[in-house]
Amino acid sequence: MTNLAQQITNGIRPLLVGHPPEVQGIVLADLVATFIAGHHPAVRDDTLDLLFDCVRALVPCNEKKIFPDSFPVDWN
């Protein structure tokens, strides 16, 4: 992640902390929808696919940050 992206993420994160997962999800969904809407309709599906590939790649890194003492987390 670039330094600028990390700075923006660090600015947004405190706004989400403490709110229910449903609220956090709606906020993130609205931001993603705004991001996708800014792309030409012909490339929106590809853009969304790339975004979710990025999300999938970032999950293990963030999981390790959230659960540093029990990584990898056994969700079973």
Residue 51, number of CB atoms within 10 A of its CB: 13
pLDDT value at residue 71: 67
Tens digits of residue pLDDT in 6-47: 999 999 999 999 999 999 999 999 999 999 999 999 999 999
pLDDT value at residue 67: 87
Mean pLDDT of the chain: 92
Please write down the HEC assignment for all residues of the chain: CCHHHHHHHHHHHHHHCCCCHHHHHHHHHHHHHHHHHCCCHHHHHHHHHHHHHHHHHHHHHHHHHHCCCCCCCCCC
